[in-house]
Amino acid sequence: MKPLIFGAKGHRLSNQEAAFFAEHRPAGFILFRRNVDTPDQVRALVEEMKRAADNPGALVLIDQEGGRVARLRPPHWREYPRAAAYGALWPIDPDLAGEAAYLGARLIADDLIRLGINVDCLPVLDVPVPGADNIIGDRAYGTSPDIVMALGRAAADGLMEGGVMPIIKHIPGHGRAMADSHLALPVVEASRAALRGHDFQPFRALGDMPLAMTAHVIFTAYDRENPATTSETVIRDVIRGEMGFDGVLMCDDLSMKALSGSFAGRRDAALAQGCDLVLHCNGEMDEMEPIAAGCPGIAAPAARRLERVVTALGKARKPFDRGQAEARLDALLAMGG
């Protein structure tokens, strides 16, 4: 098995994709809107992916946050609110806000587990600041670290109680970035004190989570040349050190324009500096092939972390009444306007 997470191009695997995944046996897959039609089709695609990789325990990821980042949408799936809608309940009652964030994630987990999807790229723990690029914006639970860490924890609990593993993102924080890392490399000039007292707080508070996704962001207070994804200093001293994160660390998408150099070079830099898995999302074979070619197997520490996640996926889910949960969530969201 290789430390790779790949996407595919359509609703079913092509013969070329199936052969490619069989050859390289990625640790997981990620689904996007281009991969989604009906529930039966998604379930069939997930099973095809696992069979191709000969890996029944493969991680199957999706970005199902709610709001503008939702790969599953009506008419087959419920429309979920943006994270900021849960934050809007906080001034009314923090406990109700937490309950709503939990219920939203618990319902999402119910959607995903029925499809064979076992990992959601949620919660977003970034804390936006005034003037920051809107790539985070209302995907954040709020502009206060206290709100973000509390509601992020509630959402993570909701996913896990539904049998789905959360990914905290974008560690150590994308909220201060003045550029969208899909399009350019953001550079954050804030001091260590400012970062520790604001941006890093939610990630430190949720350092016990099973998975995290890096930010393609340079933090000059720690490393003036390399984004967090490829910075040994940030990964070792901040993510693994200050934040105490000991789960599976994956990079954000290797195809994003924040990164430069060859795809094999991006892969090697992320793995060498401390990422456990690398993620490539767009399903383009001419990009996936150089990432997979010559890629080593999963390193022993990463394999141990990954095994903990796969083992946790097998745990029994807590009882759940979907109708009751939906009614309660709707009532709470109405209170927040």
Which residue among 93, 146, 157, 182 is the active-site one?
182
As given in the structure block, the two tokens for residue 125 are 């723990």
**What b/e readout covers 90-108, taking b as 16+ CB neighbours within 10 angstroms?**
beeeeebbbbbbbbbbbbb
Establish whether 198 is a catalytic residue. no
Cis check for the bond before 172: say yes or no (omega within 30 of 0): yes
Establish whether 280 is a catalytic residue. no
Which residue among 120, 252, 253, 268 is the active-site one?
252
CA distance 90 to 109: 23
At 86, give phi and psi (nearest 5°).
-70, -40
Residue labelled with tokens 């994956």: 250
Torsional sign, CA 273, 193, 124, 304: positive
Neighbour tally for 319: CB within 10 Å: 6
**Residues 214 and 184: beta-carbon distance below 8 Å:** no
**Residues 116 and 60: beta-carbon distance below 8 Å:** yes
Annotated catalytic sites, by residue? Answer: 182, 252
